[in-house]
Amino acid sequence: MIALSTGSLHTYGTARVARLAADAGFDGLELMISESWDTRDPAYLMEIVRNIPIPILSVHAPFRQSIPGWGDDEVTRLGRSVEIALAVGARTVVIHPPLRYYWLSLRYAPFVNIALLTPIRRATPRATRYRRWLQTELVGYTQRAGVNIAIETMPRHRLGPRLVNLFDMNEIRDLRRLSALTLDTAHIGTWGVNLLETYDVLADRVTHVHLSNYARGRQHRLPHDGSLALGPFLAALRRRGFGGVIAVELEPDSAGAGDDRRVHERLTQSLLFCRQHFS
């Protein structure tokens, strides 16, 4: 099934994104939970599902700290996300791995920009606890919860001539040990590796996909506009009998935010691309 991530138009309300996705012909939504109340109210979300109608196929747990009433603990936020997924009938919850470093950027007008990497473990043990929980308790929790919980492949960042991995559990050897992955194609694009070869290594772990392209150093571009071979990738998913959700996850600018006619055109193009290569 082909879904649209509400994060593609996170500057819009959830109902507006759902209507645009339904009009373009998507099979469903991936709900990006954020600070906005309309991403966290199950009764309101079910009203959207019934009235538009369009199902919520997957839920992305929040990855920012400031969610009112959700606490600072990643496991607690995951539990709240699972509750919403069960309430709306979603079968997958996407989570991020723990951070290894904070990225600190100090700007002094007009020209000085100093970037620093600070090891997160020196600042707080929370990331270490979260990593340990993922390694020892996630599988049992997933079985009890009755939903697929898939850890997302995350981007790498350039620091001078080097690519830096800000996240724990984000190397191929670590990803191979996990039971369920969300493969984000644009994030893989930042690694400087071959997408098809990487998928071939991870294929038996991939249960969910975030689909977008990578172009000129920018992530989450339209599927047909970038350097990644997304057509052959979708064909490889089809050949392997992939049965999960493919969620198109764009940035608002690449989705055409601000002009609903343009949004409809770009979403329709993206969906057509996916269906041509996957269906």
pLDDT at 142: 96
**Strands 112-119, 148-152: pairing kind:** unpaired
- φ and ψ of 221, to 5 deg: -85, 170
pLDDT at 185: 98
**Structure token digits, residue 207:** 């249960």
β partners of residue 60: 32, 94
CATH number of the domain located at residue range(s) 2-278 in this protein: 3.20.20.150
Which of 200, 195, 198, 269 shows the shortest CA–CA distance to 240?
A: 200
In order of 112, 158, 159, the CA distances from 108 in angstroms are 5, 21, 19
- Where b means 16+ CB within 10 Å and e means fewer, 103-116 reads eeeeeeeeeeeeee
Query: Whole-prediction pTM value?
Result: 0.91
**How do the pLDDT tens digits run along the chain, 279 residues long?**
999 999 999 999 999 999 999 999 999 999 999 999 999 999 999 999 999 999 999 999 998 767 888 887 899 999 999 999 999 999 999 999 998 865 544 444 444 444 445 554 444 577 788 999 999 999 999 999 999 999 999 999 887 778 888 899 999 999 999 999 999 999 999 999 999 999 999 999 999 999 999 998 899 999 999 999 999 999 999 999 999 999 999 999 999 999 999 999 999 999 999 999 998
